[in-house]
Amino acid sequence: MAKSLLLVGVGGQGTILVSKILSEGLLEEGYDVKMSEIHGMAQRGGSVTTQIIFGDKVYSPTINKGEADVLVSFEKLEAARYVPLLKKGGTLIVNEEEMYPLPVLGGLEKYPDGIMEELKDKIEKVISINARVIAEELGEPRSQNIVMLGLIVKALGLENIDWKSKIMKFLPERVHEVNIKAFERGINV
């Protein structure tokens, strides 16, 4: 049976990088992998999604309403936006990071209160962390996404794959050490 993973976040958060690392590892493990990314106007702070489906044989690269086995959100509000795509009984992994969309910054709309409570109330399986706090402890706020990678790997039970070499492949050398640490923190949450 194929498993589907939907990753959502805000442009610039590094969700695509995490998807690339994940797909590469899954491929190496011998899965048939399809990954699909939709970035409207890249990097301009809009909402970004990537989809990964893996299994013995995968045809369609798309995940629709109520189909994702796992929804990974790099930001709270995006989790709320995309939960209709999560399968009933599926797992939600969420970073408690808050990033205000422009209409909220400008006071035109409101960033809703109590998102985490509502998510935990409605969804049976929620795993949440504050990746920013962990990343800041490590001295590199931008490694939040790799903390999330660790968490995803743990939640999917994919620890046996050699993720560290993938992280090193996709990231520049000067940030290898801190990102390996970030990954370990994510796995050991």
Partner 1 sequence: MKKLLTGNEAIARGTYEAGCLVASAYPGTPSTEILENISQYEEIYSEWSTNEKVALEVGAGASIAGARALVAMKHVGLNVAADPLFTIAYEGVNGGLVVITADEPGMHSSQNEQDNRLFAPHAKVAMVEPSDSQECKDFIKHAFEISEEFDTPVLFKVTTRVCHSKGTVELGSRVEVGIKEYVKNPKKYIMTPANAKTKHLEMEETRIPRLMEYSNNSPLNKIEWNDRKIGIITSGAAYLHAKEVFGDTVSYLKVGFSWPLPDKLFREFAEGVDKLYIIEENEPYMEQFIKAMGIECIGKEIFSVCGEINPQIIREAILGEKVEEGYKLDIEVPSRPPALCAGCPHRGIFYALSKHKNKIVVTSDIGCYTLGSAPPLATGDTVICMGAGITAGIGFDKVNQMADRGKKTFGIVGDSTFFHSGMTGLVNAVYNKSNMVVVILDNRITAMTGHQENPGTGKSLSGVEAPQIDIEGLVKAIGIKESNIRVIDPYDMDANANAINDALVATEPFVIITKQPCALIKDVQKRRANLYCQVNQDKCKKCKTCLRIGCPAISMKDNVVSMDTSMCNGCTVCLQVCPFKAIESFGEEVI
Q: Which of these ranges, 54-62, 143-151, 154-162, 169-177, lies near partner 1 under the rule CB under 8 A? A: 54-62
Burial of 187 (0-12, 13-18, 19+ CB in 10 A): middle
What DSSP line would sit under 49-114, residue for residue?
Answer: EEEEEEES--------TT-EEEEEESSHHHHHHHGGGEEEEEEEEEE------HHHHTTSS-PPS-
Structure tokens at 42: 């890249």
Nearer to partner 1, 84 or 176 (CB): 84
Q: Under the criterion CB under 8 A, does residue 157 sit at the interface with partner 1?
A: no
Question: Do residues 135 and 172 touch, judged by C-beta distance below 8 A?
Answer: no
Which of 29, 38, 137, 165 is the binder for partner 1 (CB under 8 A)? 38
Question: Do residues 12 and 43 touch, judged by C-beta distance below 8 A?
Answer: yes
Name residues contacting partner 1, limited to 86-105 (CB under 8 A): 86-88, 90, 100-105
Nearer to partner 1, 107 or 139 (CB): 107
Q: Which of these ranges, 28-36, 151-159, 160-168, 178-186, lies near partner 1 under the rule CB under 8 A? A: 28-36
Q: How far apart are CA 178 and CA 114, in angstroms?
A: 32
Which of 1, 56, 114, 139 is the binder for partner 1 (CB under 8 A)? 114
Q: Under the criterion CB under 8 A, does residue 11 sit at the interface with partner 1?
A: yes
Q: List CB contacts of 138: < 8 A, sequence separation 6 or more.
A: 178, 181, 182, 185
Nearer to partner 1, 38 or 176 (CB): 38
Q: Under the criterion CB under 8 A, does residue 136 sit at the interface with partner 1?
A: no
Q: Under the criterion CB under 8 A, does residue 174 sit at the interface with partner 1?
A: no
> Which chain residues interact with partner 1 by CB under 8 A?
10-11, 23-24, 27, 32-47, 59-62, 64-68, 77-78, 80-81, 83-88, 90, 100-112, 114-115, 118-119, 122-123, 141
